[in-house]
Amino acid sequence: MGVKTASEAETGQSATNQRLITYAEAGVEAISEEMRRDPTIFYMGQGVGPRGGNFQQSRGLWTEFGGVRVRDTPIAERGQTGLGIGAALAGSHPIVDIVFLDFVLEAICEIIQQASTIHYISDGKFKVPVVVRAAGGGIRSTGPHHSHTFYSFFMHIPGLKVALPSTPYDVKGLMKTTLRDNNPVIFIEHKALYNTKGHVPKEEYLIPFGQAVVRKPGDQITLVAMGQMVGRAMQAAAKLEEEGVSVEIIDPRTLAPFDKETILTSVAKTGRLVIVDEAYAACGVSAEIAAIIASEALYDLDAPILRICTLPAPHAFSPSLDNYLVPSVDRIVTEVAALVGKKL
């Protein structure tokens, strides 16, 4: 059977090929299938070998592929990323698992100054098919060193691709596409999603980069959400529906390349735009989306653009304070309702 695009697979699932698996399992399945297909792929990171990773994101890979193709590394993010770039230049396709997105900052020079530019400065002679995989976002009030969502840093840089899957289906489809791409890819998964379950077909499928998905149709408000916020937006939309407010939810799935057309089409229909993002508002993805709509669809808007983001303060160890900072379902409901003149 041929490879399906996301839309074909999502609408074409049958009772025989559907199964519920976790977000973590979907990632492992994608990587193992691609490692069997392509012997140049190898995996390295902290604790990704026999232990299977902090979030079981590499569970079983070491058992199947051994210590040559699945390698534990020291806590040395800059070193392992530099090694990965060098291996990519030499003909391999490495996956560099940084574990926590926060510590990608240790390797920022390698990613931005080297991985993103080598193809350009070599006049296309060299390719850098390296995958930097990391878990972002807050979970269980882990404080300012293990809660960040730095994806806008990489969306800003030409030469990098950025994936941000929110479902098990998307993790598998996007990871398989990533491992067939000759460009450096930043693959960001949300820690709070690893144990969530979703339908993933048994048959092979790929999700093209730059193809957003409408998670829920609606006609009064366009709501763009990413990562963990997609689930919260869906819960909020269900509550708003009870109050007669129809929300269309769009999940970009990848930030570079970015599918603006799906959002522009939706805004032309609804006349209102809300962006829900776990990252900070300043200079972030929400600001970029707002700028796109303001410059290309200003006269389609019937109300100001609303951004619902994490408040500008360090992530807290206090659960009550952290819950206050990060967008909640209740906050989304309240602020979206106010946009259409309802007080809930």
Q: How deeply is 39 buried, as exposed, middle or buried, from its count of CB atoms within 10 A (0-12, 13-18, 19+)?
A: exposed
- Closest-CA residue to 228 (of 83, 326, 298, 144): 326
Q: Residue 129 contacts by C-beta under 8 Å, 6 or more apart in sequence?
A: 88, 93, 181, 182, 183, 184
User: How far is C-alpha 220 from the chain's CA centre?
Assistant: 26
d(CA 320, CA 325): 9
Which sign, positive or negative, has the C-alpha torsion 175, 177, 182, 188? negative
Q: Residue 53 contacts by C-beta under 8 Å, 6 or more apart in sequence?
A: 45, 47, 59, 97, 99
Is residue 312 reached through a cis peptide bond, with omega within 30 degrees of 0 on the bond before it?
Answer: no
Q: Are 125 and 114 in contact (CB under 8 A)?
A: no
Catalytic residues: 146
Please give the helix or strand (H or E) that residue 221 lies within, else none: strand 221-225
Burial 276-295 (b: 16+ CB within 10 A, else e): bbbbbbeebbbbbbbebbee
